Chain A
Amino acid sequence: MSAPVSPGLRSGSLPLLVALMTLLAGLSLAGLTGVQTLAEGWAGAARNATTIEIPSDTPQLEDRTRALIQTLHKTPDITTVRELSPQQVQTLLAPWLGQVSDSGHLPGLSLPVVLIVAHTGTPDLGRVVHEALPEAVVEEDRRWGERLNGLGSSLVACAWLAVSLIAAIAVLSVGMTVRRSVMAQRKAVEIVHFLGAGDVTISSRIAGRAALLSLAGGLAGLFFLSPVITMLARKLAPFSHDAGPAALPATTWQTMLASWWNTLHVLPRLLLEELGALPLIAACLGWLTAQTVVLVWLRRLP
């Protein structure tokens, strides 16, 4: 240990505070990543898909539908055209119509033909479809996509706000803890100051200790965050396109660790890097905050 030239930081509560803040920040970052992934998925899916409904009372329905599908296949930028089966249409409409095994049991109701068109770029599908089949209704998913994109952006902004708020609360907490510590050691700080210690000498020792305690708190927070994130990742794994290896049943420590390691593969690499950086960010924030608080406090001494 280096020779003391200034009082250190007295605070048993700082690591606990930082651990809690790290836990919250980690959860917010995980939420942020989830929302970002969803928003990107929504935007991508909605941008590149269009739904075409052909009413069931359209004359020569089957022939004209086939003709439309052929026309669509020939249209540039269209990648796939898929006709939903009556069962798929029923499933799609189940929230509105209820579970019906046969549309014929609902008098006066017949299901439309539904085409899902995947495309790149922005082909003028409305014109192409209406030239071939004026009765068809073109549902541009892009409009919904724009709304969903807006919703996604709002959620991302909220998540960033939460992360920023947590960082601000962490800075405030560290600042108040450091200030309390300096006040508790006021006499010792004054003695050192009046013996000729420089402001930075005094603040650096306190800030160094604050950084160390914050790093310890950050690591502890990360340790407690790990099972929570793993559990959430397991819950969300079925929704992931890149689900990775299946989780193993947790019976022994080894299988539990293997299961945990497999689950980590589900998490995006960027999120893992961000979570890994949290203790270092906590240490940097602790150091900067302590430096600022002590230097400002020392200005009152002549």
Chain B
Amino acid sequence: MIRLLNVSMMPPGVGQPVLRNLTLTVAQGEFRWLLGPSGAGKSSLLRLLTLETRPSAGQMDLLGMSVSQASRATLRNLRRRIGFVPQDYRLIGEWTVFDNVALPLRLRGASERDTRREAFAVLEWLDVAHLADKRPGTLSGGEQQRAAIARALIGRPEILLADEPTNALEDAQARRLLATFQELVDMGTTVIVATHNEALVREAPAASIVLQDGTLAGADTQDGIAARRSDRA
């Protein structure tokens, strides 16, 4: 579960908050689109939720734990339960794709045999198993994106956050990824996907968090979902 109460975020050296008084709750096992124009604060909200920064005001709870006063050890344990697909992939260039993807399991102390099995399963599912020994710098944008998705999925996270996860994928791959997200939701994972891709949102109607100028402009909603479904029809 994700719970934000009057959360604001002001990065150091920036005169005004990039997020203001956000209050929202996303239940465990729920899917949400994160929508809004560029500069609305989507990436900032994702940075908060991936614990790359802490709120400058307000109360934020993730998976039943308060983040605001959490110790470093608590934050570290929370991070291991969150999967994230960044827009810029954030793969370690000196490592192979396999080592990048295997990292979350290795950090949890999984055996090397289990790590190999799970890493290759997810890489095969994303059609990039043949690239396991390559370095990210030699891959195309789409291949790097799939490697980043594999790293986010491998640990079966309790919260999955994705920032434009389909922008380098072909339509068929994007649809398949959405189906996977839905499977994770069915297994109890909370999924939040930030996107500009309206067609994708229309194709998979779900509740959304809409940001505008760092504030919550809308959060729905069965009505919104129904409206999008009727558009699609």
Chain A positions within 8 Å of B, measured between CB atoms, are 3-5, 7, 187-188, 191-192, 194-199, 201, 302
> With A3-B112, A191-B90, A191-B92 in contact, do A197 and B75 touch (Cβ < 8 Å)?
no
Chain B's nearest CB lies how many Å from the CB of A181? 12
CA distance A192 to B103 in the complex (A): 8
Of B78, B79, B115, the most chain A CB neighbours within 10 A belong to B79
Is B52's CB under 8 angstroms from A3's CB? no
Closest B residue, CB atoms, query A189: B92
> With A5-B107, A201-B107 in contact, do A302 and B79 touch (Cβ < 8 Å)?
no
Is A195's CB under 8 angstroms from B107's CB? yes
**How many residues belonging to B are interface residues under a CB distance threshold of 8 Å?**
30
CA distance A7 to B94 in the complex (A): 9
Cβ–Cβ < 8 Å partners of A4 in chain B: 95, 99, 103, 106
**B185 an interface residue at 8 Å Cβ cutoff?**
no
Cβ–Cβ < 8 Å partners of A195 in chain B: 79-80, 103-104, 107, 151
**B50 an interface residue at 8 Å Cβ cutoff?**
yes
- B43-58 CB mask vs A (1 if < 8 Å, else 0) is 0000000111110000
Q: What are 20 pairs between A and B in contact, CB < 8 Å? A: A3-B99, A3-B106, A3-B115, A5-B106, A7-B92, A7-B94, A188-B92, A192-B92, A192-B103, A192-B107, A194-B79, A195-B80, A195-B107, A196-B77, A196-B80, A196-B107, A197-B107, A199-B72, A302-B52, A302-B54
Cβ–Cβ < 8 Å partners of B79 in chain A: 194-196
Chain B's nearest CB lies how many Å from the CB of A272? 41
**B76 an interface residue at 8 Å Cβ cutoff?**
yes
CA distance A188 to B77 in the complex (A): 19
Partner of B52, one of A7, A194, A199: A194
Cβ–Cβ < 8 Å partners of A3 in chain B: 99, 102, 106, 112, 115
CA distance A187 to B94 in the complex (A): 11
Cβ–Cβ < 8 Å partners of B92 in chain A: 7, 188, 191-192
Cβ–Cβ < 8 Å partners of B76 in chain A: 196-198
Of A7, A188, A194, A302, the most chain B CB neighbours within 10 A belong to A194
CA distance A181 to B73 in the complex (A): 25
Cβ–Cβ < 8 Å partners of B78 in chain A: 196
> With A4-B99, A188-B92, A188-B94 in contact, do A302 and B106 touch (Cβ < 8 Å)?
no
